[in-house]
Amino acid sequence: MYHSRNVKEMTITGSIALIIGLFVALVVQILVMPLRRRYKRRSDRPAPDPFDLADIHAMKESGKITPAEAERLKAILLQRRGVTATDQSGPKGPRGFDVVQK
């Protein structure tokens, strides 16, 4: 009889310890999730560009780079930013809205 009572007490104590452990793990998970999200957002950001279009223009004007190099750097910079190069001549044909006569 003494032996079965001791086993019951140990089982109840173990169950309570398990419940407390699971509760602590849940609280830790809730506290850690915002930190993980913040770290993930930082790691997903692209590295900043070492220079911008104004810097390229200034280097070209000062003679540090040739116009061909400036165009190549400009294309690379725009590609990194996700801007697609378009034809600079503009659209063909008439532009704007048609005038509606009364």
Distance CA 58, CA 88 (A): 22
Distance CA 15, CA 7 (A): 12
Query: How confident is the model over 32-51, as pLDDT tens digits?
Result: 999 888 887 776 676 777 77
Q: What is the pLDDT of residue 21?
A: 95
Report the predicted TM-score, pTM, of the whole model to 2 decimal places. 0.40
What is the CB neighbour count within 10 angstroms for residue 56? 20
| Residue 49 near residue 80, CB atoms below 8 Å | yes
